[in-house]
Structure 1
Amino acid sequence: MSSHINKLSSAALENKALADYNAYRGDTVIVHRLLVETQGTTQYRELLTQAKVRVLPTPREKVLNFACKDLISPTWVVELAEPHPEIPGGAFLSLHAKSFQADGQVHRGDVFAREGELVARGSLAIFNTVMRATLKVVVAVFGTEQLRHQ
């Protein structure tokens, strides 16, 4: 018996990317990674502290960027909503939005949350940070051998 996976068409992937972009256009979002272009060079930066950026009007071809025939991988043009110490003034900024695959998979992209959602997500982020720190201490003190099931 063979399994059959219904694949989304290119048009369906485009519709998902456009709907996602239109849902965020004009909003301020929180990011931890950005594409930063200065003096003709683009770097994908992992930020040490979160940045607040506003999603700007973006050329259609950037929103409908196909990485391959089964994966649409949009980028959105953004601007800083407030100054950020890791981002030089005058830099051209963009981010990777959610990517959509023909098999139905969705990849999160760079948007962590809308600005208003941060309070709700903040509690979870604090919990995750505390748990990660606790695990590091436990591993440092006891080693990984004692964490395994016997």
Structure 2
Amino acid sequence: MCGRMAHKELTWAAYRGGRCLVIASGYYEWQLRGGVKHPHYISPAGNAPALLMAGLESRVRLADYEGPTCAILTEPVREGLARVHDRMPVMMDLEAAGDWLGGCPVEDLPRIPMAALRWHEVGRRVSSVRNEGPELIEPIEPALPDLFSR
């Protein structure tokens, strides 16, 4: 391996000593309907300011980048969000975040309840990194089937 750790070893090293929290006001997932991807914005419901996601941090040395990197842990989706996507980040409340950073196994972390999340379809402008602005998280009306095109 030329002095570099294998991918699996890097993952376990990060799991043991590179835990972090990824804090976000929301995230996007794409729902496949009729062969077309439709973006949805998932965010905290109510007054929660942000989502806390389990992450792993490490340093990398690549041909074109050297520095910190992180990954968000995911799991099979729960309950109603399954209509949008089949995976979701491992999300927790503040108390569980301390447990995660303290070494608690991911399978033992209490998850936030699905009622703590809300989601809605957004416009396709989110598909380009060149687009930015608050309108990227505004809900759109879902496309209705064209009843007259038969």
The answer to whether the superposition gives a TM-score over 0.5 is no
Which of structures 1 and 2 has the bigger CA Rg?
1
TM-score bucket of the superposed structures, by smaller chain: under 0.3
Higher relative contact order (CA 8 A, sep 6+): 1
TM-score by length of 1: 0.27
